[in-house]
Amino acid sequence: MKVLVVRPKAANTLGYLNVVDTEPLELEYLYTVLRDYGADACIYDALLDRKSLSRVLLDEQPDVICITGYITQRNLIRKYAAIAKRRIACIKVIVGGVFAELTYAQLYDENIDYIIHTSSLKTFIELIRCIDQDQEAAIPAIKGICYRQADGIWHKNDNVIADINDLPIPDRSYFYRTMDRYKYLDYKPCASVKTTYSCPYACSFCYCRKLNSGRYSARDMQLVIEEIKSIQCDNIYVVDDDFLFDTSRLETFITLIEENGIRKNFLVYGRADFIANNKPIMLRLKQAGVRVVMVGLESMVDAELENYNKKSSRAINEACIRVLRECDITCMGFLMVDQNAQKSDFAAMAKWMETVDLTYVSVAIHTPLPGSDIYENYRDQFIDTKIQHFDFLHCMLQPKHMSLRAYYRECHKLYRKIFRIAKRKGAYAFLDLQYYRGIFDHFFRTLMKE
């Protein structure tokens, strides 16, 4: 049995900025369990591979194609499924990933055979085994999947809560062949490691906290260290939604890093309140190799933070930035502007970034994602429903205090200020900031003309 596992290309122009290109870890997990099962597997990362899917299908002639992706790639996933069916009539098409886990119904399509709505690799291999052994009559009993019944109607089976300790150490042979492609900012090459499922917090806008049926699960740190030791790369991006959560687990991480003599650079996500209240452990994490912390600051307005259920405040955000600076750890701050913003709010955000010396920053437009807690509150208010625009750079809801064109103009001005701050402080020295500013200029000017 031959299986092709696929990550689709980017759904829009800004997906090709090549500032953050992550190792296709989800494909490597599938590749590893397929190899252990005895299948002949191959990886196709369309995000960076120049070959077309049609060419890969003709070259590899797989029996099964497995496609994973994010919400903005839904149409691409369907397109890939149609291409696969056209090229190989008898091929089975399986779709999974974080988008499929919560919003599986958006993938009900005549060219898709099965949808996996769980992170459990056991479910995946059970489905593969049934297909391989011509036991498709047994497939309706597999929990964690959606399948089409005899009448063509889709049916969703019960959820499966995955045990993160079942994750294998992935076979990274593909990564090692192509590692020059993968980076996070100037950390290149950069590998990826996963140590948790879901998130222990309840921010109202967050999609990821509802994954794995909302069950937060942390991988045994000894297994994490074994994987890190095995990786032949100096830079490690920990993809957890929140790595900085359990102090005792972090103490174990630090101890094992020291005991094993590991010398690597780690890029992790963390919450502002944890960082602000735990300077001693942040200093130790710096010594253990943590170089960058991505922080969901979201806002510097307390009322907005309360509305997002962040359980944080402007003072906490400022303390977080200060602690990271004192620990000599780069703070990559993530902020949001929502549809209630007035012109003065955009200017205030830019001024605040300069006041607190927040140099590395990304600003997203508040976007209620299907599957998140707040989506139903806005279902009837969307002014744009193109799935590829759920990318946090398109305004999906009507601004309250200005026209859509004016809103995009303020977003554009904010991004230009971010570029000016970065240039003045010598940040992103590894990038041609003039080039990237030009890309964003074109992007927002195009939106203002629509």
**Could you identify the residue written with the tokens 């590829």?**
388
Indicate whether 421 pLDDT > 70.
yes
Q: Which CATH number fits domain 182-449: 3.20.20.10, 3.40.50.300, 3.30.300.30, 3.20.20.70?
A: 3.20.20.70
Least confident of 3-17, 331-345, 410-424: 3-17
pLDDT band for position 449 (cuts 50, 70, 90)? confident
pLDDT band for position 10 (cuts 50, 70, 90)? confident
pLDDT band for position 13 (cuts 50, 70, 90)? low
Residue-wise pLDDT for 84-104, tens only, equals 999 999 999 999 999 999 999
CB count within 10 Å of CB 400 equals 11
* CATH of segment(s) 2-156: 3.40.50.280
Higher pLDDT, 113 or 18: 113
Burial of 420 (0-12, 13-18, 19+ CB in 10 A): middle
**Could you identify the residue written with the tokens 């920990």?**
238
pLDDT of residue 18: 80
Q: What is the maximal distance between C-alpha atoms in the chain?
A: 64
Indicate whether 423 pLDDT > 80.
yes
| Mean pLDDT, residues 391-396 taken together | 94
pLDDT band for position 17 (cuts 50, 70, 90)? confident
Contact of 53 with 6, CB cutoff 8 Å: yes
- State the DSSP code for 333: E
Residue-wise pLDDT for 154-174, tens only, equals 999 999 999 999 999 999 999
Indicate whether 1 pLDDT > 80.
yes
| Mean pLDDT, residues 137-143 taken together | 96
| Mean pLDDT, residues 49-78 taken together | 96
| Mean pLDDT, residues 118-123 taken together | 96
pLDDT of residue 429: 87
| Mean pLDDT, residues 72-81 taken together | 96
Helices 343-355 and 404-424, axial angle in degrees (round to 10):
10
pTM given for the model: 0.95
397: three-class secondary structure by DSSP: strand
Give the separation between CA 9 and CA 70, rounded to whole angstroms: 11
Residue-wise pLDDT for 349-372, tens only, equals 999 999 999 999 999 999 999 999
Domain boundaries, the chain: 2-156, 182-449
Indicate the residue type of 265.
Answer: N
pLDDT band for position 212 (cuts 50, 70, 90)? very high
Residue-wise pLDDT for 266-276, tens only, equals 999 999 999 99
Indicate whether 114 pLDDT > 80.
yes
